């Protein structure tokens, strides 16, 4: 499983809750984080190198736990993964939405890279053309979550600022299309009201894997690596996961 | 002149106002921004490559327009610069403070890298040991400025949150030790009151160069390069400078 940084840990958390015996090798590409403002070429380059490394490390499944990489580098990762299956955090959400009979209007917030990729509208158009989608880049939310400042007012002002820029009167769902955002789930839900479902892609992915009968026979081991060690990562990781993790550093630049 | 991204443009702005005829070659290392959360080794590595590039491009002076790089990579840049003079944004502020007879208590806000480097306390202790300094890492301010969200409440809540964590009762000055922060100068000044001087290191640097009689005989030309092109950079740059700039991309990784 990989992400540009700590955000993917919300996917890791959902995945481990669904599959407590899965052994997980997590790579956070902190040297290049955040991916959300990088070019498609670089996101693909970074993702390829990590996928190759994970495959060579013996991974039996690769999970792209990052919306920016899912948006731009899914095919690149599949190529590198060769015969190993690849899951991401975009396609499961699109399939989930397509299956909801009462959903025809969806909002989406994400990084610049994810929104500019146009991947959600494109995939939805292909399998659920009756669903209208409005997207908005909300680039300050990821750093806000990473800092973990516990000021409800601050979170609320910023989330409201972004939501006010989207027409959501007719929406039935809002996709939190950045792995950091589920930390702000309750703020979104409070501001949107109960009639709009707020979707956490990591949770949607874990639910679908479970529903498809996937299983992982392991010991629930977690091996966590970053491409650039920072104490801040460890601190944020513990806050997001609810337990401490030990970090190794890995250089994937060559 | 270089920075990890757009922040250094506040230094560029002050410098160009002081020296309108200087020809400036500006490099924003957007591929690796922000430096504030990177390791000392990487900040030195990135800075060396940029310094080498600027020297080879014919620079007659190198200005490190980034506090994180000034804190960790001044010596590395001087080595690469060889016989070309190097200026930074840390040392001029330390000298300015040392010269103020009414200053004995200073606060400082900056990135994690700058604060963890301990450079300000170390340099102050050497030349002005009577000055007490309190430092605080305020890592959310740089992305806030980059996004340019014009919500006074948001800026105010966040700046107040940070200031409340510093004992500033006896302070005569607060150093904005990140090149992004001068954009929030008025918010800081409003919250701190008129008795505390809020210092913009880019301005302090430009003033000292002027006072030392420096001069640059050129045509006021600005050549601006980034290591990763993003439309967001152009937009933020225009907001910070007050005029549009044209950007080239350069690859300095090898």
- Strands of the sheet containing B173-177, edge to edge, are B132-137, B105-110, B173-177, B197-199
Q: What percent of chain A has pLDDT over 70?
A: 100
Which of A143, A147, A228 lies closest to B38 in CB terms?
A: A228
Q: Mean pLDDT lowest for which of A180-189, B85-94, B195-204, B228-237?
A: B228-237
Name the average pLDDT for chain B. Answer: 94
Q: How far apart are CA B246 and CA A95, in angstroms?
A: 42
Q: How far apart are CA B103 and CA B120, in angstroms?
A: 15
**A147 and B CB contact within 8 Å:** yes
Task: Pick the residue of B157, B159, B227, B254 with the most A CBs within 10 A to test the interface with A by mutation.
Answer: B157
**A45 and B CB contact within 8 Å:** no
With 90 as the cut, is the pLDDT of residue A232 above it? no
In angstroms, what separates the C-alpha of A225 from chain B's closest C-alpha? 16
Q: Which residues in chain B (102-121) have CB-CB distances under 8 A to chain A?
A: 112
Q: What pLDDT, in 10s, does the model give residues B6-48? A: 899 999 999 999 999 999 999 999 999 888 878 899 999 999 9
Question: Cβ separation of B37 and A232 shorter than 8 Å?
Answer: yes
Say what the pLDDT of residue A151 is.
Answer: 79
Residues of A designated as active site: 66, 178
**B229 and A CB contact within 8 Å:** yes
Say what the pLDDT of residue A171 is.
Answer: 97
Say what the pLDDT of residue B152 is.
Answer: 76
Q: What pLDDT, in 10s, does the model give residues B178-216? A: 999 999 999 999 999 999 999 999 999 999 999 999 999
With 80 as the cut, is the pLDDT of residue A152 above it? no
**Are A74 and A86 a contacting pair, CB within 8 Å?**
yes
pLDDT confidence of A149, banded at 50, 70, 90?
confident
ipTM of the complex as predicted: 0.72
With 90 as the cut, is the pLDDT of residue B58 above it? yes
Q: What is the 3-state secondary structure (H, E, C) of chain B?
A: CEECCCCCHHHHHHHHHHCCCCCEEEEECCCCCCHHHCCHHHHHHHHHHHHHHHHHCCCCCEEECCHHHHHHHHHHHHHHHCCCCEECCCHHHHHHHHHCCCCCEEEEEECHHHHHHCHHHHHHHHHCCCCEEEEEECCCHHHHHHHCCCCHHHHHHHHHHHHCCCCCCCCCEEEEECCCHHHHHHHHHHHHCCCCEEECHHHHHHHHHHHCCCCCCCCCCEEEEECCCCHHHHHHHHHHHCCCCCEEECCCCC
Q: How far apart are CA B150 and CA A36, in angstroms?
A: 21
DSSP, collapsed to helix, strand or coil, labels residue A1 as coil
Say what the pLDDT of residue A243 is.
Answer: 93
Name all domains of chain B by residue range, CATH numbers in brackets. Answer: 2-89+205-249 (3.40.50.1860), 91-202 (3.40.50.1860)
**A230 and B CB contact within 8 Å:** yes
With 80 as the cut, is the pLDDT of residue A193 above it? yes
Name the average pLDDT for chain A. Answer: 94
Round to the nearest angstrom and report the end-to-end CA distance of chain B: 20
Longest pairwise C-alpha distance within chain B? 49
Task: Pick the residue of A114, A230, A254 with the most B CBs within 10 A to test the interface with B by mutation.
Answer: A230
**A122 and B CB contact within 8 Å:** no
Q: What pLDDT, in 10s, does the model give residues B87-102? A: 999 999 999 999 999 9
Residues of B designated as active site: 66, 178
Q: Mean pLDDT lowest for which of A44-53, A147-156, A239-248, B131-140?
A: A147-156
CB-CB neighbors (< 8 A) of B230 in chain A: 37-39, 112
In angstroms, what separates the C-alpha of A48 from chain B's closest C-alpha? 17
Say what the pLDDT of residue B69 is.
Answer: 96
Question: Cβ separation of B144 and A149 shorter than 8 Å?
Answer: no
Say what the pLDDT of residue A218 is.
Answer: 95
Question: Cβ separation of A147 and B153 shorter than 8 Å?
Answer: no
pLDDT confidence of A231, banded at 50, 70, 90?
confident
Q: What pLDDT, in 10s, does the model give residues A32-57? A: 988 887 889 999 999 999 999 999 99
């Amino acid at each position: 499983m990989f992400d540009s940084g700590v955000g993917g840990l919300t996917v890791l958390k959902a995945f481990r809750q669904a599959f407590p015996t899965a052994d997980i090798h997590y790579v956070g590409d902190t040297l290049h984080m955040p991916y959300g403002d990088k070019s498609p070429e670089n996101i693909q380059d970074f993702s390829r190198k990590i996928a190759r490394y994970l495959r060579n490390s013996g991974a039996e499944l690769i999970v792209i736990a990052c919306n920016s990489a899912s948006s731009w580098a899914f095919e690149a990762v599949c190529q590198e993964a060769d015969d190993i299956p690849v899951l991401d955090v975009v396609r499961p959400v699109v399939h989930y939405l397509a299956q909801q009979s009462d959903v025809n209007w969806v909002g989406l917030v994400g990084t610049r890279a994810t929104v500019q990729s146009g991947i959600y509208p494109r995939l939805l158009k292909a399998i659920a053309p009756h669903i209208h989608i409005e997207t908005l880049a909300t680039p300050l939310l990821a750093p806000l979550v990473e800092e973990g400042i516990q000021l409800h007012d601050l979170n609320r002002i910023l989330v409201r600022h972004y939501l006010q820029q989207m027409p959501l009167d007719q929406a039935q769902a809002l996709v939190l299309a950045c792995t950091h955002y589920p930390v702000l789930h309750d703020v979104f839900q409070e501001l949107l009201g109960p009639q709009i479902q707020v979707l956490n892609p990591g949770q949607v992915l874990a639910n679908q894997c479970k529903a498809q009968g996937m299983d992982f026979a392991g010991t629930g081991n977690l091996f966590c690596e970053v491409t650039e060690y920072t104490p801040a990562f460890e601190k944020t990781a513990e806050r997001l996961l609810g337990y401490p993790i030990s970090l190794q550093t890995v250089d994937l630049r060559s």
